[in-house]
A and B are shown apart, each in its own frame.
Chain A
Amino acid sequence: MPRIDWQTALKGLAGFIVAVVIWVGVSPLYDRAVAAGAELLMRTFESPKVTHLTATGTDVKVDRSDFDPRSPRPGLPVIDLTFNWVLLAALFAINPRPFSDRNMLRFAIASLLMYVTHILALATEVMSIYVLRLGAWSRVHYGAFARNFWGTANHSYRFVLMFAIAFGLWWALRPTTLTRPPATLSRSRGRGSEEPSRSTRKASRRRARS
């Protein structure tokens, strides 16, 4: 397990600040990608296909082609669902050699997997609007089980799962190096450890001379 010294803490802080700046800058574009993915996912399971999700730059407007055209469309601030990427970036920044190819590649893979979870989170959020927040329309179209299921899924993601996903992805994908417990190192000293023993060095020199 990593011990957090001052150098590691500073790396984490720098990674956190850079990630916040990137996240704020990229969010309007990223929201569109998440909305497109969530719309595709929802329409895959819909019959007829009615859901339209449109990113406006500040939120995602939820529209259905079977809604009354005069009724207002709900909007969702997607940044509330996606800021766990900042936590992911800060965690990868505390890894040893954060700019190594291996760490960057694994961070990219973790970010890609997180994008998939963001699509699922937005689809869950839209479903929770459908089942809970549209008054009589919700009550007519969805039962108690659907209300509990989508409501709990949405709340659990916002409350703890979004952070747990960032931690879990980092834990699973952080670069690993082979380390041996101290007992193994001390036993192997002089008999095959990476540091050759004095007798081994002498023998090598003799072989080189002959």
Chain B
Amino acid sequence: MKRDQKIFLIKFFVALIAMYLLVAWNPVNDHVIVPATKAIAVAAGALLHAIGQNVIVNGTTIASSRFAVNINNGCNGIEAMLILLAAIGAFPASWRARLIGLGIGALIVQFINEIRIISLYLIGAYKPSLFQIFHTAVWQVVVILAAIVFFLQWSARVAPNRLANGS
């Protein structure tokens, strides 16, 4: 591993832990994360309505007579956005490129996360035996993978020769 790749990894982990502590801090959680999660639930509820599901959104819970999902940390896409933020922040690039990357990346992550919530509700309602595996292994990995793939694309675009190691 080259020196600049080691520096990237160190910066990445330091930034990630710092942002985790910020997000886990109660005032930030209560005034930023919870309202954002409620907005995610409202959007998912509206999309479920649009495809004919009779659901009620109450705070961070989407419920019907068939099934209910409660969107917690870990299911709101914030974890993927933190990883994306730490990776983009640790990568040597201009602030403009970072801001554009963060904006587009956050939109992509949240778009995929909405699909995750809708599909998990539908799986829970119509095929509950598959809920656990999709909730744990499939969708969490897909959302994080989407964030990492976006980061790789972004970094290849903003600095094609920097940190290039033949991948």
Cα(A114)–Cα(B145), bound, Å: 17
A window 1-57: CB within 8 A of B: 1-4, 9, 12, 16, 20, 23-24
Cα(A97)–Cα(B140), bound, Å: 26
Task: Please report whether the interface of chain A is mostly helix, strand, loop or mixed according to DSSP.
Answer: helix
Check A179 against B166 for contact (C-beta < 8 Å).
Answer: yes
Q: Which residues of B contact A172 (CB under 8 A)?
A: 1, 5, 9
Q: Which residues of A contact B117 (CB under 8 A)?
A: none
Check A163 against B165 for contact (C-beta < 8 Å).
Answer: no
A156-171 to B contact mask, C-beta < 8 Å, 1/0:
1011110110111001
Cα(A181)–Cα(B164), bound, Å: 9
A interface list, Cβ under 8 A from B: 1-4, 9, 12, 16, 20, 23-24, 79-80, 83-84, 86-87, 90-91, 95-96, 152, 155-156, 158-161, 163-164, 166-168, 171-172, 174-179, 181-182
Cα(A166)–Cα(B145), bound, Å: 10
CB distance from A190 to the nearest CB of B (A): 22
Query: B138 near A: Cβ within 8 Å?
Result: yes
Closest to B149 in A: A4
Check A159 against B79 for contact (C-beta < 8 Å).
Answer: yes
Q: Which residues of B contact A178 (CB under 8 A)?
A: 166
Cα(A96)–Cα(B166), bound, Å: 9
Check A1 against B82 for contact (C-beta < 8 Å).
Answer: no
How many pairs, one residue from A and one from B, have CB atoms within 8 Å of each other in the complex? Answer: 110
B window 68-125: CB within 8 A of A: 73-74, 79-80, 82-83, 86-87
Cα(A9)–Cα(B148), bound, Å: 12
Query: B32 near A: Cβ within 8 Å?
Result: no
Check B24 against A83 for contact (C-beta < 8 Å).
Answer: no
CB distance from B130 to the nearest CB of A (A): 11
Closest to B165 in A: A176
Query: B67 near A: Cβ within 8 Å?
Result: no
Cα(A16)–Cα(B166), bound, Å: 22
Check A160 against B83 for contact (C-beta < 8 Å).
Answer: yes
Closest to B87 in A: A167
Q: Which residues of B contact A96 (CB under 8 A)?
A: 166-167
Stretch from B11-19, B37-45, B48-56, B58-66 contacting the other chain: B11-19
Q: Which residues of B contact A177 (CB under 8 A)?
A: 165-166
Closest to B155 in A: A1
Check A155 against B1 for contact (C-beta < 8 Å).
Answer: no
Cα(A24)–Cα(B155), bound, Å: 33
Contact of B161 among A84, A90, A159, A182 (CB under 8 A): A182
